């Protein structure tokens, strides 16, 4: 017999380390964009920078996306106030545009708040982004912003191609439990491009070999990871 105490668990949405290929390069892997991601991402980058890291690889392979406020907060670290992050359009043609701005949230969204000092704090960072065909939704929005604002080269293979937004409609008004999740809007990158159904084509196309494809991304050594090698080489100028 044993007892279990109920408690809160903070998920790990960001992993970080020094590159095995070049210790001057930091690798930050974003697993998904949940409500913990903005704070974890900032802490990861700041920690690596305190260790002398000045160049970064942002690995978004197998990132399925996540919460819109989370991705907007992370992108705010790289953009200027007033920069367009995303535009959305519903079936009636109503358009909304979200821009970088100071914003404060409470409760579970507190970690997605953006202060004036947060905006653009990593704007000049030298970095590269790795994607694959399982990089989707909000992770593609991250990629598209880095491409449209020319913040970093994109390396890997064409992304998944999910440029639609879902909303949850509770059924308690009708006397039922639960809710219905429906696609309500299409969204567009800063330059107005939709990647729904087509994905984002990287600047540098790099395929993994069959052995690497059959190895868990979490166990794949940098020395056998052609996409990681290409990203690090792009940053360091190594051939």
Could you please report the per-residue DSSP string of 137-177? THHHHHHHHHHHTT-S-EEES------EEEEEEE-GGGT-S
pLDDT reading at 239 higher than 70 = no
pLDDT mean across residues, the chain: 96
Tell me the pLDDT band of 61, cut-offs 50, 70 and 90: very high
Please name the residues in contact with 111: beta carbons below 8 A apart, sequence gap of 6 or more.
Answer: 35, 36, 37, 38, 39, 73
User: Which residue reads 């604002």 in tokens?
Assistant: 149
CA torsion 122-123-124-128 (nearest 10°) is: 80
Radius of gyration in angstroms for the set of CA atoms belonging to the chain, rounded to a whole number: 19
pLDDT value of residue 10: 80
- With left for phi above 0 and alpha for psi between -120 and 50, is residue 74 left, alpha or beta? alpha
Strand partners, 19: none
Higher pLDDT, 223 or 238: 223
Mean pLDDT, range 68-94, rounded to an integer: 97
**pLDDT (0 to 100) of residue 9:** 81
pLDDT at residue 238 tops 80: no
What would the two tokens of residue 155 be?
Answer: 């390396």
Tell me phi and psi for residue 84, to 5 degrees: -75, 130
| Tens digit of each residue's pLDDT (9 = 90 or more) over 88-106 | 999 999 999 999 999 999 9
Q: Report residue 115 as tokens.
A: 């202060």
Report the distance separating Cα 227 and Cα 97, nearest Å: 33
Residues 6+ apart with CB under 8 A from 216: none
Identify the band that residue 236 occupies on the pLDDT scale cut at 50, 70 and 90. very high
Cα 227 to Cα 234: distance, rounded to the nearest angstrom = 11
Residue 206 CA from chain centroid, whole number: 20
133-154 pLDDT, tens digit per residue, is 999 999 999 999 999 999 999 9
Question: Which pLDDT belongs to residue 158?
Answer: 98
Question: What does DSSP assign to residue 211?
Answer: H
For 21-53, write each residue's pLDDT tens digit.
999 999 999 999 999 999 999 999 999 999 999
3-state SS, residue 104: coil
Mean pLDDT of 181-185: 94
| Residue 232 pLDDT > 70 | yes
Cα 130 to chain center, whole Å?
11
Show the tokens assigned to 161.
Answer: 């191609």
């Amino acid at each position: 017999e044993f007892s279990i105490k109920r408690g809160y668990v903070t998920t790990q949405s960001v992993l970080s380390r020094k590159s095995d290929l070049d210790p001057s390069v930091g690798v930050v892997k974003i697993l998904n964009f949940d409500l913990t991601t903005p704070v974890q991402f900032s802490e990861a980058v700041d920690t690596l920078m305190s260790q002398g890291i000045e160049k970064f690889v942002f690995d978004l392979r197998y990132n399925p996306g996540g919460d819109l406020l989370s991705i907007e907060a992370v992108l705010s670290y790289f953009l200027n106030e007033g920069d367009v992050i995303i535009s959305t359009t519903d079936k009636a043609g109503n358009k909304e545009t979200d821009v970088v701005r100071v914003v404060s949230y409470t409760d579970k969204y507190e970690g997605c708040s953006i202060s004036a000092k947060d905006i653009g704090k990593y704007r000049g960072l030298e970095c590269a982004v790795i994607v694959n065909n399982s990089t989707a939704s909000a992770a593609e929005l991250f990629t598209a912003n880095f491409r449209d604002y020319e913040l970093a080269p994109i390396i890997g293979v064409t992304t998944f191609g999910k440029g639609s937004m879902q909303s949850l409609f509770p059924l308690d008004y009708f006397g039922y439990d639960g809710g219905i999740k429906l696609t309500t809007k299409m969204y567009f990158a800063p330059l107005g491009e939709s990647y729904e159904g087509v994905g984002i084509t990287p600047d540098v196309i790099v395929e993994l070999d069959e052995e690497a494809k059959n190895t868990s991304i979490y166990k794949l050594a940098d020395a056998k990871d052609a996409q990681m090698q290409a990203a690090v080489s792009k940053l360091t100028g190594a051939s």
